[in-house]
Homo-oligomer: A and B are copies of this chain.
Amino acid sequence: MLVSKKVNIYSILSGTWRHFLIEIIACLAAYTLYRYVESLHVFDSVVISSKIPTILGTALAFFIGFNNNQAYDRWWEARKIWGALVNDSRSFGRQVFFYMKGDVTTESIKKDKVRMIYRHIAFVYALKESLRGTISREYRNYLCEEEWKAVEKESNIPNAILNLQSQDLEMHYDKGNIDGFKFLELNKMIVGFCDEMGMSERIKNTVFPTTYNFYTRVFIWIFIVSITWSAVDGMGAWSILVGILVGYVFLTTHKIGMALLNPFEAIPSGISLNQITRAIEINLLEMLGESKIPPPEEVVNGEYIM
Contact = CB atoms under 8 A, between A and B. Distances in A.
Interface stretch (A21-29, A110-118, A140-148, A244-252): A244-252
A33 to B, nearest CB: 14
Most chain-B CB neighbours within 10 Å: which of A95, A249, A269, A282? A249
A300 interface: no
Given A185-B184, A236-B45, A198 B90 contact: yes
B210 A59 contact: no
A53 B53 contact: no
Interface string A267-287: 001000000000000110011
Most chain-B CB neighbours within 10 Å: which of A47, A60, A61, A65? A61
Given A65-B62, A287-B163, A249 B231 contact: no
A162 to B, nearest CB: 7
A211 B215 CA distance: 23
Interface in A131-163: 154-156, 159, 162-163
B286 A154 contact: yes
B59 A62 contact: no
Given A5-B210, A55-B54, A210-B5, A159 B219 contact: no
Given A98-B170, A166-B94, A235-B45, A207 B2 contact: yes
A166 to B, nearest CB: 4
Contacts of A2: 207, 209-211
A83 B52 contact: no
A75 B209 CA distance: 10
Contact of A50 (B51, B68, B190, B246): B51
Given A51-B53, A194-B91, A59 B211 contact: no
A181 B169 CA distance: 13
Interface of A: 1-7, 12, 43-66, 68-70, 72, 75, 79-80, 83-84, 86-87, 90-91, 94-95, 97-99, 101, 154-156, 159, 162-163, 166-167, 169-170, 174, 179-185, 187, 190-191, 194-195, 197-199, 201-202, 206-207, 209-215, 219, 222, 226-227, 230-231, 234-238, 242, 245-246, 249-250, 252-253, 256, 259-260, 269, 282-283, 286-287
Closest 8 CB pairs of A and B: A87-B198, A83-B202, A180-B181, A55-B57, A7-B214, A50-B51, A98-B166, A61-B62
